[in-house]
Chain A
């Protein structure tokens, strides 16, 4: 698997399709695993995650799991759409690809860090990555929408 965000090797739409399918499956694996971990914390009623005083952590990590897994699916759909014969290939494919990968790292990553340390009702400073990721995601979706 090429390093995330690297574009050097990818030049053709087929290369991009492969890259996003791989990236999608791997992120699904990572964030579904996170889901299983959270489930386990519920199962054993672990206070570190479930205590009322830790509700910010619970919210942040739930968001990390949900966003990561759903963005994984977006990568799969995007990768597949590049393989559909006759589909228009988006303009600025390299930028779109980078933005989508960046969003998938920053959005759930920011949520996760925001829950590692936090200030009672406010998430930790790591959550600042989230709006950056959100802007990248909007950019990617905009480019994809214009091509559709």
Chain B
């Protein structure tokens, strides 16, 4: 800011405790403006028209922190403006514009676009009181807070989440009644990973950076989202060895949520197995990542996942192969798995066969004999069933625009 070239003004500022009014500090803006400061980069947007684009190319983007973002940009929000003229024009020029970044119900599914998640969250959209409106700064601290007792590396490792916000504290401040008796709400042991707010309401359903990323749209788990939208639900992302029907039954028993009608496979085969064998590339990557996620391994066991991850080592998508190999490396005895996800196909196949051969002669292979995991009673894999599901795989090309 030009006025701060004056040294007298700067040093006068150091002498008092008042904030410098020439610098926009997102924490002092109202919630919508504050979130937009982050949303200018962490959001999916386009120019409103060709004239805007030309102006920006000649003079830079007109948005300045504190401005209303939508006055100078079109922020894509398919849940709200899916059928607007602007969106129709965009889709005519770029038919994959929505599918490449959003789930079928309009929820954002790629990394780095958390603002689109926030504006679709009830904690932002349905909030009336600014004090109880969620912004990025409800959880994140862009500079480590003065009172944060953790080493700087710990703050950075949590993706700059503020002290006390890494766990249920991210929600407790605004949802005190639920946080006061966590187990009553979550039906899990208080200390269980199944009692963490984030794990049910901000599960890892976004994709980017070769891994699963926490969704920043606050939602509640439902079987419906998995059946109608194709998005994995939080329960089955941890309970990988359970069917959608199982989740539907518990959601009804615990929360009174009516389960949707399910197909035969959705009742008989574990959800993650369906996602690995039948799902599109995005689903396969998410399922593969969760097979390496510690809380899911604890809740669902892991030995039985090896043939599924092994299958994904031969996936046509580089990213899926990479994620599958990383998850295999998290399993006992596979830490040093020698597999190059961009090696020639023959070498990759050989590595996958080696993994399976070693696994067959290990105790992990006989850990589970559940029909829903496609194991027969004698512990062998039901490869015919696997093949049947594989043949119905969603093979439409998918390019996620992270």
Which residue numbers of A lie inside 8 Å of B, CB to CB? Answer: 119, 122, 125
Question: Closest 7 A-B residue pairs measured CB to CB?
Answer: A119-B14, A122-B10, A125-B11, A122-B11, A122-B14, A122-B7, A119-B10
Q: Of all chain B residues, which has the CB nearest A121?
A: B10
Q: Of all chain B residues, which has the CB nearest A124?
A: B14
Chain B stretch 1-32: residues in CB contact (< 8 A) with chain A: 7, 10-11, 14
Shortest beta-carbon distance from B143 to chain A in Å: 11
Cα of A119 to Cα of B9 in the assembled complex, Å: 13
Q: Of all chain B residues, which has the CB nearest A125?
A: B11
Shortest beta-carbon distance from A47 to chain B in Å: 11
Residues of B within 8 A of A119 (CB): 10, 14
What are some 7 contacts across the A-B interface (CB < 8 A)? Answer: A119-B10, A119-B14, A122-B7, A122-B10, A122-B11, A122-B14, A125-B11
Residues of B within 8 A of A122 (CB): 7, 10-11, 14
Chain B residues with a Cβ closer than 8 Å to the other chain, count:
4
Q: Of all chain A residues, which has the CB nearest B15?
A: A125
Cα of A125 to Cα of B11 in the assembled complex, Å: 8
Cα of A20 to Cα of B264 in the assembled complex, Å: 99
Q: Of all chain A residues, which has the CB nearest B7?
A: A122
Shortest beta-carbon distance from A135 to chain B in Å: 17
Cα of A12 to Cα of B10 in the assembled complex, Å: 47
Residues of B within 8 A of A125 (CB): 11
Q: Of all chain B residues, which has the CB nearest A120?
A: B14
Shortest beta-carbon distance from B289 to chain A in Å: 34
Residues of A within 8 A of B14 (CB): 119, 122
Q: Of all chain B residues, which has the CB nearest A122?
A: B10
Shortest beta-carbon distance from B181 to chain A in Å: 43
Shortest beta-carbon distance from A3 to chain B in Å: 32
Shortest beta-carbon distance from B16 to chain A in Å: 12
Shortest beta-carbon distance from B77 to chain A in Å: 38
Cα of A125 to Cα of B8 in the assembled complex, Å: 11
Shortest beta-carbon distance from A53 to chain B in Å: 11
Chain B positions 284 through 303: 1 when the CB is less than 8 Å from some CB of chain A, otherwise 0: 00000000000000000000
Cα of A20 to Cα of B10 in the assembled complex, Å: 39
Cα of A122 to Cα of B7 in the assembled complex, Å: 9
Q: Of all chain A residues, which has the CB nearest B14?
A: A119
Cα of A125 to Cα of B10 in the assembled complex, Å: 11
Cα of A108 to Cα of B7 in the assembled complex, Å: 21
Residues of A within 8 A of B11 (CB): 122, 125
Residues of A within 8 A of B7 (CB): 122
Cα of A141 to Cα of B303 in the assembled complex, Å: 83
Cα of A122 to Cα of B9 in the assembled complex, Å: 12
Chain B positions 383 through 400: 1 when the CB is less than 8 Å from some CB of chain A, otherwise 0: 000000000000000000
Cα of A119 to Cα of B15 in the assembled complex, Å: 10
Cα of A122 to Cα of B10 in the assembled complex, Å: 9
Shortest beta-carbon distance from B147 to chain A in Å: 19
Cα of A125 to Cα of B14 in the assembled complex, Å: 10
Shortest beta-carbon distance from B80 to chain A in Å: 41
Cα of A119 to Cα of B12 in the assembled complex, Å: 12
Shortest beta-carbon distance from B155 to chain A in Å: 15
Residues of A within 8 A of B10 (CB): 119, 122
Cα of A30 to Cα of B14 in the assembled complex, Å: 32
Shortest beta-carbon distance from A83 to chain B in Å: 43
Shortest beta-carbon distance from B15 to chain A in Å: 9
Cα of A119 to Cα of B16 in the assembled complex, Å: 13
Chain B positions 135 through 160: 1 when the CB is less than 8 Å from some CB of chain A, otherwise 0: 00000000000000000000000000
Cα of A68 to Cα of B7 in the assembled complex, Å: 25
Looking at B7, B10, B14, the one whose CB has the most chain A CB atoms below 10 A away is B14
Cα of A58 to Cα of B211 in the assembled complex, Å: 40
Shortest beta-carbon distance from B191 to chain A in Å: 38
Shortest beta-carbon distance from B4 to chain A in Å: 10
Shortest beta-carbon distance from B276 to chain A in Å: 45
Q: Of all chain B residues, which has the CB nearest A128?
A: B11
Shortest beta-carbon distance from A122 to chain B in Å: 6
Shortest beta-carbon distance from A69 to chain B in Å: 27
Cα of A128 to Cα of B346 in the assembled complex, Å: 72
Q: Of all chain A residues, which has the CB nearest B10?
A: A122
Shortest beta-carbon distance from A119 to chain B in Å: 5
